[in-house]
Amino acid sequence: MPDLTKLFVDPDELPNRGPVLSLLSSLIAAARDSTVKAAGTEEIFLLPFKDEVLGILVTGLKAQSSLRPAIEGLNGLVTTPDLLDDQEIGFVVQKVNDVISSQEDLLGARCSFSPSSPGFSLIIAL
């Protein structure tokens, strides 16, 4: 996890942010699926990294090339039991809502977000 976060913030790797977030999202989903079997929060793999990963995923929402993997990663964080508290979940929902609103403003009625898109599935998962 730390290697992917370092790679994401490296200015020389700016063109690779989308693929890095895609890998990070897959890792988050795998960790979430293994967390379902964990007995307590001390066994949640993502817990020590959640603040850094949350910050990176929110940053990923700002670029079109990393938007989809960022939303998928946020979906993984939100659906991991006992990882985020209510305030952090509210923060994620606000950031995704901002992205959806800005996409609607840019595209008008031809918005790329639909009920089948990851942003809506994230909000519905809450």
pLDDT tens digits for 53-85? 999 999 999 988 899 999 999 999 999 888 899
Q: Identify the domain containing residue 115 by its residue range.
A: 2-125
Mean pLDDT of the chain: 81
Q: Which pLDDT tens digit goes with each residue over 104-121?
A: 655 454 445 455 555 555
Mean pLDDT across 7-20: 88
Query: Does position 39 have pLDDT exceeding 60, yes or no?
Result: no
Q: What is the count of structural domains for the chain?
A: 1
Q: Which amino acid is present at 79?
A: T
Kindly state the percentage of the chain with pLDDT values over 70: 75
**How far apart are the two ends of the chain, measured CA to CA in Å?**
25
Structure tokens at 82: 């006992």
How far is the C-alpha of 90 from the C-alpha of 113, rounded, in Å? 20
